[in-house]
Amino acid sequence: MRFVLTLLLFSIYTVNCLSQNEIKKEQSKVRLVKWSTENCDTTYAPYRLQSRLTRLESKNDITFVTVNFSDNCCAEFNPMIEFKDNKLNILPYKKYLGNYCTCNCCFAINFEIKGIANKEFVVYFKNEKIKMTDNHYKTIEPTYQFHNGVKINHLNKYGFKEGIWMEFYENGAQKSLTKYPESSLYYESDYEWSKSFYESGRVSHYSRKDTTETWFGDGELESQIISYSSSDTTLRKGMIKHENRNLKERFLERFYPTVFRSEFDSTKERKGSKLDYKYKEEYYLNGQRKYLQTNDTIFTWFESGQVQHKRYNTGSIEYNEKGELIKKSFYWKEPGVKGWWDLNHALYIDYFINGNIEQIHFVRDEPSKNGKSLAPSVHYYWKWDNESKLIESPTNWKEEYPWRKINEIKVSTNKQ
């Protein structure tokens, strides 16, 4: 009897060992034979995308798997697989070695895997279980309401607003009415238009594609901003009033493509965009002008009417409320190293109340060995006491003083 029991246990052990060996042998046959990645897909919102299977099928001895997922825009893929205990774990890379960009993107990797005999395996991606699904984002139970027979406040399965949305005051009066696209499957859409109401029923706010308007409670227009396009230029015009109905601000700005050129090298240019103002005005509550900007000039005033600041393309000047000079600045450019852009220079001067110079702050771009300007710009300071005696200067300054070309600046450079 003892012999029979021993023989039975030995047989079970032997079968078990053979079974384990077969499993290990089977697992060792599974290998990745081919893979390919698809370019960044901008159809989806990368920060909402869920990792999912979009293809899983077998033909002969090859299993075809496609995984859709979100990753860093600059990711460099080098995928590998692990197959164990009927689990297929897919890694897009063993360790991330790519550059890091300030964005994510939606990718897909197609795999061809050989040797998976049991077709009832489970797929993992980055050690997390994934499944075949048509839903690119996580889903919720859709919700909606009805108001006077109209379907409102609809959240679709991805949590995006669709159709008409309404809000109400506690007394039942309508507070807001907003129209969203009827279908929103890939991105959280902005509204097509929106209205808000006072409890009295008067419109307080109306916003649509090209116009935003607000009204005071009595129906008088409070603000209006209109956007429109002409050729390749976008214009934006607006006005805003104070509570006392005096004008607070009005402006006309334009945004357009342009070509930026070097002042010293006619071959050096680059395309870009520019924002400037045909005019921009701001006013204090009492009606006194506060701010004026045109294409090349900016003025600001104190509420008393005293000029506070004037700024031009080549410099600026600033006063205190008594009209006393407190600051000046000068701006200019100098040629950069050949093949690179102009170097920006700025000189800022602070004054004592008696008119003497208190500080000169010089800021400039400086070329490095490879020609590029250093970033950020380099700063230098000189300081005087109120009797015009130099008390501080940059260490080992051996160049010509940067203000020598400006005739109106007369200061001592002898340190006390």
Mean pLDDT of 322-327: 96
Report residue 33: phi and psi, to 5°.
-105, -20
Amino acid 241: pLDDT? 98
Amino acid 15: pLDDT? 41
Amino acid 371: pLDDT? 57
Amino acid 257: pLDDT? 95
Digit-coded pLDDT (tens) for 218-275: 999 999 999 999 899 999 999 999 999 999 999 999 999 999 988 888 888 889 999 9
Domain presence at residue 244:
no
Closest CA to 394 of 373, 355, 363, 367: 363
CB 253 within 8 A of CB 278: yes
Domain presence at residue 287:
no
Give the C-alpha separation, 206 to 196, whole Å. Answer: 7
Residue 91, both tokens: 């890694």
Domain presence at residue 118:
yes
Closest CA to 109 of 142, 139, 62, 70: 70
CA gyration radius, the chain: 35
Amino acid 18: pLDDT? 38
Residue 127, both tokens: 């050690």
Closest CA to 123 of 90, 79, 94: 90
pLDDT bin (cut points 50, 70, 90) of residue 373 is: low
- For residue 192, the surrounding DSSP H or E stretch is none
Mean pLDDT of 113-140: 93
Who has greater pLDDT, 104 or 11?
Answer: 104
pLDDT bin (cut points 50, 70, 90) of residue 331 is: very high
Domain presence at residue 337:
no
Residue 83, both tokens: 């197959």
pLDDT surpassing 90 at residue 288: yes
What percent of the chain clears pLDDT 70, i.e. is strictly above it?
90
CB 30 within 8 A of CB 123: no
Domain presence at residue 108:
yes
Range of the domain at 116: 26-129
- Structurally, the chain folds into a number of domains equal to 1
Domain presence at residue 122:
yes
Domain presence at residue 60:
yes
Domain presence at residue 414:
no
Mean pLDDT of 65-76: 93
CB 148 within 8 A of CB 174: no
Digit-coded pLDDT (tens) for 19-59: 445 444 555 589 999 999 999 999 999 999 999 999 999 99
Give the C-alpha separation, 189 to 211, whole Å. Answer: 18
| Burial environment of residue 391 by CB neighbours within 10 A (0 to 12, 13 to 18, 19 or more) | exposed
CA dihedral of residues 319, 321, 324, 326 (deg, nearest 10) = -40
pLDDT surpassing 50 at residue 368: yes
Digit-coded pLDDT (tens) for 191-207: 999 999 999 999 999 99
Amino acid 374: pLDDT? 58
What is the side-by-side order of every strand in the sheet holding 122-125?
Answer: 80-84, 87-91, 122-125, 128-129
Give the C-alpha separation, 185 to 45, whole Å. Answer: 10
Mapped onto helix, strand or coil, the DSSP state of residue 184 is: coil
CB 147 within 8 A of CB 167: no
pLDDT surpassing 50 at residue 4: no
Residue whose tokens read 């409102």: 152
Give the C-alpha separation, 302 to 319, whole Å. Answer: 10
Mean pLDDT of 9-27: 46
The CA–CA distances, whole Å, from 253 to 45, 206, 353 equal 32, 21, 38
Mapped onto helix, strand or coil, the DSSP state of residue 24 is: helix
- With a CB cutoff of 8 Å and minimum separation 6, the contacts of 223 are 212, 213, 214, 238, 239, 240, 241
CB 331 within 8 A of CB 315: yes
Give the C-alpha separation, 49 to 40, whole Å. Answer: 13
- With a CB cutoff of 8 Å and minimum separation 6, the contacts of 207 are 191, 193, 194, 195, 213
Which amino acid makes up residue 346?
A: A
Q: C-alpha angle with apex 51: 49 to 56, nearest 5 degrees?
A: 130
